[in-house]
Structure formats: C-alpha cells, structure tokens
Structure 1
Amino acid sequence: MGTESGADRVETITEYHAHVYYRPETKAEAAALREALGARFPVRLGRWHDALVGPHTQSMYQVAFAVEAFAQVMPWLMLHRGGLDVLVHPMTGDELADHTAHAAWLGQRLPLRLEALAPGR
C-alpha cells in the first residue's frame, strides 16, 4: 500500500478551542456567555485577556473542550453567541493550520497575527 500523502493523512484532533472576542462595551455579554458555557458544558475556561496575546488582535478568552463535546458546544455557540465573534479551531499540533485552514468563524472573521504562529507548533 505505501506511505500516505499529506492529502490522505488524517489529522489527530486532541481537543478544540473557542476564542470568544470582546470589546470593552461587550465584555458583560462575553462574561454572560462564559458563565453559561461553564454551567452547561464540560469545558475549561481560560483567562480573560484584555491585552492582546498570541495571534489575537482583539481582547478574548479561550474555552477548551474535548472532541466528544464538539457536537454539543458548537451548535450552542452558533445560537447563543449574541453579537460576539468566535473562532473555533481544532488542536492538531499545527497551530498555524489550526488557526487558519482548519478554523471556523462564528460572526465576523477577525484578522490574526499569523507571525505569532509557527507551522507545526
């Protein structure tokens, strides 16, 4: 059979991350969404980042969840994110691809500082 090409290779997703973006005037809405996510789902809620971190060009917090929770968390986010923009991406071990080619946006697609992400990192 031979070796698999990159196109045939199945990536291993270890978990998902949702980045919930907010501005000062939407922080209360982001806090309510965060509280609801934590109460409804088995997620890990990351710290609030009012200052920009990593590739993110707007204030945000991260929500990490297991592969098995995707089918519950993603549809709920689609319906309950309000006016907030959310980036949802898998964790495959390739941060650049995960935040770009493998990413799904709910709301507006925000620019990312891709230089903060190394391929395969």
Structure 2
Amino acid sequence: MSKQDQTQTENVSPTAIDDIDREWANLLSPGRRQLLGRGGLLAGGGLLASALGAGKALAQAVHGDGAAPPAGPFEVPHLPGHSPWGEHPELEATTRPSGFRPNEDPLPAKPRPYTDIKSYHAHIYFNEDNYEKAALLRKWSAERFRVEMGHWNTKPIGPHVTPSFYFGFSNEQLPVILPWLQLNNLDLTILIHPNTDDPRSDHLYYALWVNRAQPVNAFDMKKPGRGQPAVEQIYPNTHPNIKIET
C-alpha cells in the first residue's frame, strides 16, 4: 500500500468501513458468488448495478471523488488489507436449499405404501481402470437373472456422473439380487434404487448403495409427463442359463 493510500484509508471512519464490508457481505454471499461464477450475476442487471454502485462508493471513500472501481467483473472492490467478502463470515445465515423430499411439506401425514415400488434398477459404475470387472459382473448377471440389461454407457449419462451400465428387475427378485450383488460387486460401486412415480426421489432419497456411495446429479429429474407411464416399465431381455449358486 502506498503512503497516500494508507493516509486516505486512515481518514475513512471505522463505521463507514463496517458499513461497506457489510454491504459486500450481503451482495456477495457464497450463493451469489456462485451466480457470479456462472455468469448469473452479470446477467442480472439489478444486482450488477448494485455491486458496481457499492464499488464506486467504496473507491470514492478510499481514494476520493473521481476514482473508478477496479476493472473486470471478478475484481471485487475492497479496502486495502480487507477481504471483499466482509468481516465475520461465520455469522452468515445458513440457507435451506430449494430441494426437499417429496410429501414432506413440512412432514408427510402418513408413510408411503411400499407397494408404490413397481421394480428396481441396479446401476453399476466403472472407469478406465476397472471396466474389466464391470464386464465380468455384467456377464455373470445376464447368465443368472432374467432382467432388463441396458447398453454400456462409456460416458456420464442422465443423473449418473461416471460411466455405467444398468439392469432392471422385479420386486420379487430383490431378496436374491441384493445379497448377490453385495457378495459379487467386485469392488465396484453399485446404486440400487426403486422405481416409483417420483424418479428424482428414487435416485436421491430411496436409494441403496452397495460397497460405497457417490454423487448422483438427479435434482432436476421430473415426474412423468401427461401421456407417459406413471412408473418406468421393465422389459426383461436376458436369457439366463446358469443356476444361481447357493
């Protein structure tokens, strides 16, 4: 900091500094910083104008009239030696995310009937290091179970953030397939979820994990639209020829 800046900063009252810090803390909370990073704040003209106005006022308070805020949308104006995110960030309020479990507004009146589950999906995740294990598990499954086997997904697809394949199976098969996958997962991550009329919750809140869990990007999944089946249908396409080991 130059001697001129230090002298001018010392002339700003502590109250003005606190007010400016508080303004920036309000304008650039973590949620709004995410919008800024995605370009959302720049698209929101009102918030941008407010932020630039605060920056100009801060620059004038420190450097005098005629000083302009720093150039660039990510160069947040702030007092030298002070964080642009304000003081005492630990006091920032915790905000509830917009997503919440269905039928909980705030709490359901009664439990959902288990008969809402019409079938299950098993999603087997793999990568370039363990794809041979996935191929073996896929072969074993098709040889032993009458299920609906999907294609290989060598890139993330839908809510799944890594390569995967899936097979769908009936409720009656769950008592056998679940323990079989527990013992034969080959150290792969497996998501087992029910199929109801709420695919978002099926993937996020009703799921079972074999071996370990990983993120699932299902927050934007929607319920079936008009004219679509209420629950995803399962059409078995494998032809098992090996008796399940007991």
Q: Is the TM-score greater than 0.5?
A: yes
**Residue 40 (structure 1) aligns with:** 144
1:79 aligns with 2:192: no
- Number of aligned residue pairs: give it: 116
Matches of 1:27 and 1:6, distance apart in 2: 45
* Aligned amino acid, residue 9 of structure 1: R
Matches of 1:94 and 1:71, distance apart in 2: 23
Task: Report Cα offsets for 1:71-96 as digits up to 9, x if no partner.
Answer: 11010000000110000000011111
Task: Report Cα offsets for 1:15-73 as digits up to 9, x if no partner.
Answer: 10000000011111001000101111111110100111110011000110011111110
**Residue 113 (structure 1) aligns with:** 217
CA contact (8 A) 1:49 1:60 kept: yes
Alignment of 1:99-110 (within 5 A): 99-110=203-214
1:57 aligns with 2:164: no
**Residue 197 (structure 2) aligns with:** 93
Matches of 2:203 and 2:128, distance apart in 1: 24
* Aligned amino acid, residue 112 of structure 2: R
Secondary structure of the 2:192 match is strand
Matches of 1:15 and 1:8, distance apart in 2: 19
Secondary structure of the 2:178 match is helix
Matches of 2:143 and 2:131, distance apart in 1: 18
* Aligned amino acid, residue 23 of structure 1: N
**Residue 128 (structure 2) aligns with:** 24
* Aligned amino acid, residue 59 of structure 1: P
Structure 1: 4+ residue segments shifted above 3 A: none
Relative contact order (C-alpha < 8 Å, sep 6+): which is higher? 1
Matches of 1:17 and 1:8, distance apart in 2: 22
1:6/1:117 Cα in 2 relative to 1: closer, same or farther (>3 Å)?
farther
5+ residue gaps, structure 2, are: 1-107, 225-246
Identical-residue share of aligned pairs (%): 31
Larger Rg computed on CA atoms: 2
Shift, 1:6, TM fit: 5.1
Matches of 2:220 and 2:151, distance apart in 1: 19
Shift, 1:116, TM fit: 4.0
Whichever structure has more strand as a proportion of its residues is: 1
Matches of 1:29 and 1:79, distance apart in 2: 14
Matches of 2:145 and 2:193, distance apart in 1: 17
TM-align CA RMSD: 1.4
Matches of 2:140 and 2:221, distance apart in 1: 30
1:116/1:55 Cα in 2 relative to 1: closer, same or farther (>3 Å)?
farther
Whichever structure has more helix as a proportion of its residues is: 2
CA contact (8 A) 1:54 1:116 kept: no
- TM-score of the superposed pair, with normalisation by structure 2: 0.45
* Aligned amino acid, residue 127 of structure 2: R
